[in-house]
Amino acid sequence: MEINLFKFRSEDWDRFEVDLMNFEPVCYHQNLQWSKKYKKELFTSLDVIIFLAEVNHRVVGEAHCSKLDFRDFCDVEDFPGIKELLPRYESNETCYQNAFGVLPGYRGMGIGRLLKEATIHEAKKQGFRFLLGHAREGAAIGINKKFGARIIRPYEDFGGTGTTHYLYEIDLKKVK
């Protein structure tokens, strides 16, 4: 099985729109799924880092992050205690992992590791110092720990999903 990993460009949206929207209900809880309009806005923005993994011309994995905007982030009621982090992350040196997923039938094949590695490399190249994100218990948090993630705090019932997600930080200067 050949895995094709590539950096998504905004002009790729029309080519991958169907796969990307079919990805949502399979990989993400209904409370965390994005509308087509929102996902298209994010994916066609110039300020986002996006990598996709394809197998047999089918999108099987995605990873995207963008510059962290604490003005938006801190307004979210689901993240108590987040404002205390401002002094460490409020500069333009921090990006946030908006989404990261691999289709169930393709997990355990190293696709998540390849996506995370590519995302980290590109974030470092663009001058980011920290990568923040939320990840579920299990493989998702495990991949991040392999890249030196430090768990900041858990969020029980994250976004009304009934599952605990962990806010993590990866210090990109420490990742080789």
pLDDT value of residue 70: 63
pLDDT at 143: 94
pLDDT by 10-residue block (mean), the chain, 176 residues: 93 93 91 91 87 95 86 56 67 86 94 96 94 90 95 87 92 92
pLDDT at 137: 86
- pLDDT given for residue 71 in this prediction: 59
Domain count, the chain: 1
pLDDT, one tens digit per residue, over 6-19 is 999 999 999 999 99
Task: State how far the alpha carbon of 110 is from the alpha carbons of 1, 75, 114, 154, 176, in Å.
Answer: 12, 35, 6, 25, 18
The structure's pTM equals 0.89
Q: What is the 3-state composition of the chain as percent helix, strand, coil, each rounded to the nearest 5? A: 40, 30, 30
Among 60, 170, 59, which Cα is nearest to 121's? 170
- Domain residues for the domain of 111 are 4-174
The strand pair at 48-55 and 130-136 is best described as: unpaired
| CATH assignment of the domain containing 165 | 3.40.630.30
Give, as one character, the DSSP assignment of residue 46.
Answer: T
CA–CA gap between residue 32 and residue 38 (Å, rounded): 12
Which secondary-structure segment (H or E) carries 59? Answer: strand 58-67
What is residue 138's predicted lDDT score, i.e. its pLDDT?
86
**Cβ atoms of residues 160 and 144 within 8 Å:** no
